[in-house]
Structure 1
Amino acid sequence: MTLLPPNLLTYMSEEGYDKYKKIRHLFDEDSKCDPENDPFRSAYKARELLQEISNKVHVERECDGAHVGLRVLEGSLCYQLGLNYIFCEERPCGEEYLQKSVTLLKDDLDTGNSKDAVSIVMAAQTELGILWASRYQGAEQALSILEKVESSYHEYKRKSDHAPLTIDELLSPPEERLTDAERREKFENIYTHALFYLAQVHKNLGNNDLAATHCQRTLRRQLKIGNYDRKEWAVNAAGLSQYFITRNMFAQAKHCLCCANVVIEECETTASDMETAVFQRKADIARCWVKYFLALLEYSKEKLYDDVLELDRDRQTNAQIAQDEEDEIKNPYRMPMELGVEEENTRHQPIVTFEEARQVFLRCKTYVDFALKFFVMDGYVTDNIELAQDMSALYKHLLFFEIAKDRKCKMHKRRADLITGVLEEINPQFYLLVCRQLQFELGEIYSDMVDLKVEIANETNRPAGPHAVKKINSLCLSSIKYFREFLDTLKNPNGEFPGTLDGDVERPAVVANFYLARLHSKVLASEQQETLDWKRRSLQFYQWIVDYVQRNPKCTPSVQKEFEICQEMVVLLPKSLDRQL
């Protein structure tokens, strides 16, 4: 055990230890009750006492700079002063004290004194890394500092089996010193804290793979040590699942989400505010589950697409055979916990059949419904709308696996009712971008229903009856209505369509006009003249697209297929009209 010089040990016994106890009480307890108009009152009092002890130690160290105990004690006090200044929103002073702490002790890391200094240096560097991470363009410097913490941890573990001294151990009486097990736990906690912020910094720098690795290591270490906030752990585990989803690693994503479910259920909900906090975390986790199932359905569709983005039955059969032969996926990212049957009963393999898709649909819908209980329209408008869009996407994915066209139409109708209900509740003045998304989606939904109804009518090998004609025309007009509403939002204050559109709406605007051209040609009119009128309007939309792309050639790559079809139609459609005159 590192010892202090006799004269300083006498001071600590008579005053220092008691002052430090008072400091901890001021900072840990009294500060919670400080008034709003004086929020740092207790912290300022604690700072004065810290400074008194620090001044005394500094004088002693000036007289005996070679004494390890004096350097370690002053380094500990500088670290705590740094935290105090940061807490009081005086970051420059806080950074200065943290850096002083590192400077005092960095040479001791390379000597036999590392067990006395390593915890303080790692803790101070972690706080410096956090400071830099919060600054504009400070992520690179934060990464450099936090990697030093990681290096110090591994270097100490490689060289020593001793439990290192804790940050403030020399500020406590000898009879209150910690056991080796307690010291090791605190040392591991410092490294875990650093790992957590390393994950954040890597994420901010776009190093997603490294961010996920550090996040997963942090979560595993927290489980092993047992000292963690269950609500935050569960949300972070669910967040990690979203990384695995982007890599199509669905077994790993599922495992993270199942772990999140288990841990969030362990949270106590005795107070009403705690119940609300846990409810929100559960709703957040439910949304991550929704994204998981949607991504699994999308991934499964991509594996079964044919050349026209429809279900390929041959690929479906081959996928079923391959799935039956697949060995159990081994997951190197597993957390050290028992999950029971939930993980076993949750699908992560690609979906092949409609029944499999239906089971995933029903499971996902339960999470949407749960999330909507918290993210209500009154207070969580954006979240509520996104959940409605997720539910629409869920129906869209399910109908890909459906064969019966009439049932597909019913699913589209549910999507339309869902989106229409949301669109009617929001104000386009405040949610213009969202309104555009919903209007465009409704236009697509009704257009898809038109195509399905036309296919159903053609299967009879007879002209469409009055009821079918009326239904097809009604759907055409609904689709036209929403695409027009979408395009109207792009007009300038004078009600004119701009000659050049912004990049983020350029392709949607061209595609909307392309839909309108097709829809006008699908309307079934009873009189020939009316039919010709609809086709002339169709030609106008095709011509608009050709003119726009020729006027704005930079947009050609993003609308190449539509542009080529339009070029053909502006040549063929006039000839067709001439023949019908």
Structure 2
Amino acid sequence: MASLCSDEWRAICDKFTNAQHLTDVESRNDPENDPFRSKYKARELLREIYCSLKSRGAGEEDGGGESGDQRPPEPPVDVQREDVFSQGLSGDSAGGLRAAKLGAVEYYLGVNHVDTEELSAGQEHLMNCMKQLEKCRVSSENVSLFIHVRNQLGILWAGREETETAQGYLETAESIYQRYNKEEGSPPTDMTEYFATEENLLTHQERTKRFELAYTHTMYYLAQVYQNLGQTERAATYCHSTLQRQLQLNQFSPMEWALNAATLSQYYITKGRYMEGRHCLSAATVISGLAGEVPSEAAAQESETESERRDQLRQKRAEIARCWIKYCLNLLQDAKKLLEDSTGEMDTDRQEELKGERRREEEEEEKGRKSALLFGSEDTFDSIASLEEKVQCLFPLDFTEARGVFLVGQNYVTQAKEYFEMDGYVTDHIEILQDHSSLFRGLAFFEQDMERRCKMHKRRVDMLEPICNDLNAQYYLLIRRQLMFELAETYNEMMDLKLTLANRQADTQSLDNHTIKKFNSLCSASAKYFQMFLDSLASPEGKLPEHLEEEVLRPALVARFRVARLYSRLICSTPTAQLENLNKSLENYKYVVQYCEAHLEAGAAVETELELSKEMVGLLPLKINRLKARMAANN
């Protein structure tokens, strides 16, 4: 700066360096009762720098400066959408550089105020920075500041849930980066170099890294903005690119990166994009293994005690394991939907058809993998690829393939449970057990041996039943309802399997006493848990609600329907017991019909069950009357 002598300029540079050190290093050691002490000191240094620049004629024409904490008018949405390239890319004039330097001080003051929870003052300084930049054309000397200030304003407005305003600032930052790279391409001056002596200027490589990191932040914030706007596909794309750039720039905290990658995998899974989901999870597992090392400044800033840090690492790795469980579970469930016929059994024709298409799918997988945005550097890519090979991303088409997916999922169940123990993590532990149960259910679909399939369902009962019975009904009501319903359905599946096995050997009338006893036991157990679920909906006085809430409407009516069906299927040794069961069955079928007649909106939730209930309400009285007639004749 021509108007400042070398000693004065060196003093400004020293103040700026001290302010940066106070902000980035000293502030981490500030006491709890004075958490912003270092940042307040940094603010005073920045104010002194600003006054020095102003007093030397650096900004006679600008309207910036300290204005206290008065809240300025909020910027219109379109203010950040202007074309900052309207005058083209060229070298800045001396006046433009002076404005950029003043703008940079305003920017750092704005960030300082935001960091100390003075948002209105922070916004004012950031907007003053924008005003200074209005005097400049985008050039290599100021493009970094153009992007940084819009990033910060995007964060500020997103925090106020003004998502569209945040979107405007961030999309402008993105367009500035893209157009600069297209028309200029050389790494620009970093803002810190405005206040650096010649011997402290950055290298070409460091300038590039810092500029790319600024744009990575833009993408990271845009991913969150698009997520909040419901643009999930766009959000996923930006999140994926952000993660890739963080690895390339070696600017990431391993566990934070890994959790973000694992979270992204869940989006891909819900879209049936298992190749991308597997890649994210494999990368998350490999990168999480780097935790404990210090690959970047971000990781070095962690300040937890060693024991807290170890506990957090265990927890986050367990959370990644849970994402793997969901991957395996969804892969099995989606394969089941693809292969099952109208009765819920394997469609063997469809199975053979898909097996014939498998080679083409494998070729497409390899092609897609090569064209995908892959994670990792040369050091980690092989590890990620090796982990991917241990679990398939194509739908399993037979028991052998399904078992491979199941075993991977079960392995991660074990890992997750090691951290999320029942003692201390009740809800998490039970959710993991429920996923384990669902893994068994998914595998059972592929098992053709009925006896072995039944044993898989018995494993589900054994892991869920003790917990369901031991849970406190007052504190864990919703979880108990889930477990009751699942146990009822599991016993029901086992009952159907036992009957199918028996019918392969003889008709129902010829069933031996052992088979009948086993069938009735499973039937009664299923009815018991459905009834327990229904009883949990009642008031403390035992009165059932006249109106079922939306979240329990379908489960409650389905439970009624299933109880009705189960009572009608019990094999009775005496006509009296059979008559009692048929009357209970009719009572429950009538409840479904009458409730749907009284609440017309309920019919849409249970169309199939309602139709069958109406049919049974018509048929069962005839069966009951015939049974009564036979009983009277025998007497």
Same-fold status (TM-score > 0.5)? yes
Cα pair 2:586 2:617 within 8 Å, conserved: yes
2:632 is aligned to: none
Report the AA paired with residue 275 of structure 1: R
1:547 equivalenced with 2:594 (yes/no): yes
2:263 is aligned to: 239
Residues 45-71 of structure 1: CA distance to partner in whole angstroms, max 9, x if unpaired?
A: 111111111122233323376722321
1:25 equivalenced with 2:37 (yes/no): no
Cα pair 2:112 2:122 within 8 Å, conserved: yes
Partner SS, residue 63 of structure 1: coil
2:153 is aligned to: 128
Report the AA paired with residue 2 of structure 2: P
Distance 2:217 2:573 in 1: 74
Indicate which of 470, 492, 495 corresponds to 2:517. Answer: 470
Residues 247 and 8 (structure 1), Cα distance of their counterparts in 2 relative to 1, 3 Å cut: farther
1:406 is aligned to: 451
Cα pair 1:539 1:569 within 8 Å, conserved: yes
Displacement, 1:9? Answer: 5.1
Report the AA paired with residue 5 of structure 1: A
Residues 100 and 215 (structure 1), Cα distance of their counterparts in 2 relative to 1, 3 Å cut: same
Residues 71 and 372 (structure 1), Cα distance of their counterparts in 2 relative to 1, 3 Å cut: same
Indicate which of 60, 85, 104 corresponds to 2:113. Answer: 85
Distance 1:485 1:166 in 2: 67
Report the AA paired with residue 324 of structure 1: R
Cα pair 2:59 2:98 within 8 Å, conserved: no
Distance 1:109 1:377 in 2: 61
Q: Which moved more, 1:418-427 or 1:392-401?
A: 418-427
Residues 257-310 of structure 1: CA distance to partner in whole angstroms, max 9, x if unpaired?
A: 112222122222694443333322221211111111111111111111111221
Cα pair 2:262 2:320 within 8 Å, conserved: yes
Within-5 A mapping of 1:48-447: 48-59=44-55, 60-63=57-60, 67-110=95-138, 114-136=139-161, 138-268=162-292, 271-326=306-361, 327-329=363-365, 330-331=368-369, 332-333=371-372, 334-336=374-376, 337-338=381-382, 339-447=384-492
1:567 is aligned to: 614
2:38 is aligned to: 42
Residues 417 and 51 (structure 1), Cα distance of their counterparts in 2 relative to 1, 3 Å cut: same
Report the AA paired with residue 129 of structure 1: G
Distance 1:269 1:548 in 2: 62
Displacement, 1:208? Answer: 0.9
Residues 461 and 64 (structure 1), Cα distance of their counterparts in 2 relative to 1, 3 Å cut: closer
Distance 1:95 1:9 in 2: 33
Partner SS, residue 319 of structure 2: helix
Displacement, 1:422? Answer: 2.9
Partner SS, residue 404 of structure 2: helix
Cα pair 2:96 2:135 within 8 Å, conserved: no
Report the AA paired with residue 156 of structure 2: L
Displacement, 1:5? Answer: 2.5
Distance 2:360 2:175 in 1: 44
1:448 equivalenced with 2:472 (yes/no): no
Distance 2:5 2:528 in 1: 84
Q: Which moved more, 1:51-60 or 1:206-215?
A: 51-60
Partner SS, residue 362 of structure 1: helix
2:71 is aligned to: none
Cα pair 2:391 2:404 within 8 Å, conserved: no
Distance 1:222 1:371 in 2: 27
Residues 299 and 8 (structure 1), Cα distance of their counterparts in 2 relative to 1, 3 Å cut: farther
Report the AA paired with residue 502 of structure 2: A
1:578 is aligned to: 625
Partner SS, residue 427 of structure 1: coil
Cα pair 2:592 2:613 within 8 Å, conserved: yes
Report the AA paired with residue 219 of structure 2: L
2:580 is aligned to: 533
Indicate which of 558, 562, 569 corresponds to 1:511. Answer: 558
Distance 2:385 2:613 in 1: 57
Distance 2:425 2:410 in 1: 19
Indicate which of 471, 477, 501 corresponds to 2:548. Answer: 501
Displacement, 1:161? Answer: 3.0
Cα pair 2:99 2:136 within 8 Å, conserved: no
1:488 is aligned to: 535
Residues 17 and 325 (structure 1), Cα distance of their counterparts in 2 relative to 1, 3 Å cut: closer
TM-score using structure 1 length: 0.95
Partner SS, residue 499 of structure 1: coil
2:78 is aligned to: none
Partner SS, residue 116 of structure 1: coil
What RMSD in Å do the two structures reach over aligned CA positions?
A: 1.8
Partner SS, residue 58 of structure 2: helix
Q: Which moved more, 1:120-129 or 1:450-459?
A: 450-459
Report the AA paired with residue 372 of structure 1: K
Distance 1:8 1:536 in 2: 102
Distance 2:541 2:419 in 1: 41
Distance 1:325 1:30 in 2: 59
Cα pair 2:586 2:616 within 8 Å, conserved: yes
Q: Which moved more, 1:180-189 or 1:23-32?
A: 23-32
Residues 129 and 188 (structure 1), Cα distance of their counterparts in 2 relative to 1, 3 Å cut: same
Distance 1:183 1:456 in 2: 73
Distance 1:340 1:28 in 2: 37
Indicate which of 605, 611, 616 corresponds to 1:558. Answer: 605
Residues 314 and 162 (structure 1), Cα distance of their counterparts in 2 relative to 1, 3 Å cut: closer
Report the identity percentage: 40
Residues 428 and 5 (structure 1), Cα distance of their counterparts in 2 relative to 1, 3 Å cut: farther
Distance 2:6 2:525 in 1: 86
Displacement, 1:107? Answer: 4.2
Report the AA paired with residue 335 of structure 1: F
Partner SS, residue 168 of structure 1: helix
Partner SS, residue 113 of structure 2: helix
Residues 421 and 109 (structure 1), Cα distance of their counterparts in 2 relative to 1, 3 Å cut: farther
Cα pair 1:199 1:212 within 8 Å, conserved: yes
Distance 1:496 1:122 in 2: 63
Cα pair 2:59 2:102 within 8 Å, conserved: no
Partner SS, residue 389 of structure 2: helix
Partner SS, residue 403 of structure 1: coil
Cα pair 2:258 2:287 within 8 Å, conserved: yes
Q: Which moved more, 1:415-424 or 1:482-491?
A: 415-424
Partner SS, residue 108 of structure 1: coil
Report the AA paired with residue 47 of structure 1: R
Report the AA paired with residue 95 of structure 1: Q
Distance 2:187 2:438 in 1: 54
